[in-house]
Amino acid sequence: MTDPPRLSRLDFHDPRRLPELIWQALTNWQTESLTLVQEYWTSILAHPASLKWVSSEPMFCGAALRALPDPGLGVEIRIGRTPVATLLSLSRRQVLGLVADMLDMDGEEWPEDRELTSVEMSMVELALQRLADGLSDAWPGPRPIVTRLGPTIDRPRRSRLFNADETLVVTRLSIESRFGTEECIWLLPQREFGELIEDEGAVVADVVDRAPNPNMMALAERIPVEVVVELGRAELTMTQVANLKEGDILVLDQPISRSLTAFIGDQTKWTGVPRRVGSRQGFEIETTVDQ
């Protein structure tokens, strides 16, 4: 006599997670991001740290916020051109340990609990910016995704970043340092992030192999392409930006003797020199850049 098949229990009170293809794209991106972040952190940490993806699961907002460490430090991470706000939360001793590793402080025990100084907060923000860079560079779409840091939150459990009835993806990340291993938690709004993954080309669906449609090829040849010619760049402090007014002149990093560069998207295509064409600005191509 054979045992009857075991049926998995369904709880209709639990939130449903994203479709499998999108969910897989999300967790793969998170895992690969941590590999990059670990690499980027080697330039600022005196002692190595190991970052790993542990788990992701959907939760309603209230339960997700209760899962955050307390006391802790949260930071908004805004992802995408039309940004989706997410919240990363670390325990305070995790943050103090990060500062100790950046300063190469002695000891193998977790630092004593205390408030961070303004200088230490600036150091933490540098580490978080490297983390945001890793998230951007690991995006599985055709190009890195825009990723910006928002404000830090002293008591992330009290955050009002998300709607009370919203379903969040609760991702647990493990950070192993010389002091020990501890998890931090990253909250992402599930519906908005699923849409972002689809909109930003992070999911590659299976496509049936077929001959190209000649009408589509003809249409593609008529699609306009924007060419951007970069005049130069200038780096200013926030104070200088705030004080800019009409009539001010920015000194760019582009010498007048150097050719200008023309781009399509993020790819360099040509170099050349500026020209006047009647009452319009022009650009004369001198060289084509091989890709």
Task: Work out the number of other CB atoms within 10 angstroms of the CB of residue 169.
Answer: 25
* Residue recorded with tokens 């075991």: 6
pLDDT confidence band for 257 (50 / 70 / 90): confident
Do residues 159 and 87 lie in contact, with contact meaning Cβ atoms separated by under 8 Å?
yes
Question: Residue 189: pLDDT above 60?
Answer: yes
- Nearest 10 degrees: CA dihedral of 162, 30, 33, 115? 40
Structural domain spans, the chain? 20-199, 227-288
pLDDT above 70: percentage of residues in the chain: 89
Domain 227-288: assigned CATH number:
2.30.330.10
Report, as an integer, the average pLDDT of 206-227.
63
Token duo for residue 200 = 């930003």
Do residues 130 and 37 lie in contact, with contact meaning Cβ atoms separated by under 8 Å?
yes
> What is the fold of 20-199?
Chemotaxis protein chec (3.40.1550)
What tens digit of pLDDT does each residue of 108-153 get? 999 999 999 999 999 999 999 999 999 999 998 888 999 999 999 9
Separation CA 172–CA 188 (nearest Å): 11
